[in-house]
Amino acid sequence: MKTRRARRNGFGTIVATGTSTNPAFMIRWWEGSKRKKQSGFRTRTEAAEALARIRTGLGDGTLVERRKAAVSFDVAAREWLDLHSKPNLRSHQDNVERYDKHLAPFFGDGTPLAAVTAGRILELRGKLQATHAPGTVNRVMSLVRSILNFAVVQGHISASPIGRIGRGRLMLAVERKKMAPPIATLAAAGRLLAVIGDIERETNRYGLRALFATLLYSGMRRGEALGLRWADVDLDRRIITIRRSYAAMTKSGKQRTVPIATPLVAILREHRTADPWKSELVFPNDSGEMYSPAAKLEHVLHTALTRAGMPRIRVHDLRHAAASFFLMAGGDVFTLQKILGHSTPQLVSDTYGHLSDSHLAGEADRFAFPEPGLPADVIPLLTGRVAK
């Protein structure tokens, strides 16, 4: 077998990869810190000419533009799915399904990124809008936006066409049904936890009351609570660091800190002392291991709600209840946004800011105006004249 012969050609290297009867050549060159190669040349002259074209194209910028034009939307999307979505997002499987169902058929395998214009994106939205609910359309549009932003970072395109549309015009309005908090009062929440404590003692299932108290006092998601380790809990500083959901990353892919309410500190101290497993997990299951996402916690909650004479709700609704209690106690949406781990204060307000009727009735006194004859510069509501 012959040894490959390499020959320098000023800019790069030409490597003979074939035989005397079946000649073939490959070229190699450097672009910054990255080594590139290309094969399939039948003669050394062809290889030398290709190297010369690459050198010229890099010098005048035309090669970069040609490469950008050659990258398809599908290639950029697959890169985003593999390099960003898969390692970082819990919604990865949903992203794959949405791409395969909605985007791959529309853009096809070969649609260049340069052809994905603002008009083409709005055309896709219109097509989806005819057959799907606004929420579904918005999730697909969000996927398109993420892929195109990633393509900018990767250098495939200089700017995303979404910028020409604007997020406000891209997303459809979604009507959110206004609902009362799942648990209307703090007294009702306390009654529910007391009943769960009774169920814990009756069934000898360690930790049920502490788990549901943590969900109600902190607004954590179920997976975040069930994935919690004692190493993440600082009872002295009253801080919980949420690093994971079950054994995976959090929904946002980021960690955050959550304050521990004073009553919850005492509950968690008692809970840790009584731990029969001495587990690193704060809330292990009946075998001392982590609960699975399929664990039937709703059964415990529904049994307790029935005993307490309260309407049936989901475990996730305890997060809604915690957020509503926080707002009704005078908390602001910006702080609540950080506690819950949401992306915007508006999302927090729209999702959790549905206050109970009793709270709203009490807040009506804030509209009381002073009687005429009080200090100067007070303007009576009805007359509009400055009181003397």
**8 Å CB contact between 231 and 280:** yes
Retrieve residue 335's tokens: 């702080």
Q: Give the model confidence (pLDDT) of 148-200 as tens digits.
A: 999 999 888 888 999 888 767 899 988 766 557 789 889 999 999 999 999 99
| Helix 345-352 vs helix 317-328: crossing angle, to nearest 10 | 100
**8 Å CB contact between 322 and 218:** yes
pTM beyond cutoff 0.95? no
Mean pLDDT across 251-267: 91
pLDDT of residue 103: 96
pLDDT-derived band of residue 280, with 50, 70 and 90 as boundaries?
very high
Three-point CA angle 50, 55, 58, nearest 5°: 120
**SS3 state of residue 37:** strand
Q: In this model, does residue 354 exceed pLDDT 80?
A: no
d(CA 333, CA 298): 28
Contacts of 55 (CB under 8 A, 6+ apart): 10, 11, 12, 29
Closest CA to 142 of 130, 158, 125: 125
Q: Give the model confidence (pLDDT) of 119-132 as tens digits.
A: 999 999 999 999 99
Q: Which domains are delineated in the chain?
A: 5-60 (no CATH), 73-170 (1.10.150), 186-355 (1.10.443.10)
Cα dihedral 130→136→140→145 (10° resolution):
110
Mean pLDDT across 288-315: 94
Judged on CB neighbours under 10 Å (0-12, 13-18, 19+), 311 is exposed
d(CA 254, CA 339): 12
pLDDT-derived band of residue 387, with 50, 70 and 90 as boundaries?
very low
pLDDT of residue 176: 65
**8 Å CB contact between 153 and 270:** no
Q: Give the model confidence (pLDDT) of 40-75 as tens digits.
A: 888 999 888 888 887 887 777 666 666 655 789 999
d(CA 287, CA 242): 23
Retrieve residue 35's tokens: 């080594």
% pLDDT > 70, the chain: 83
Q: Which residues pair with 26 in a beta bridge?
A: 15, 39
Retrieve residue 322's tokens: 């915690």
pLDDT of residue 88: 80
Contacts of 94 (CB under 8 A, 6+ apart): none
**SS3 state of residue 168:** helix
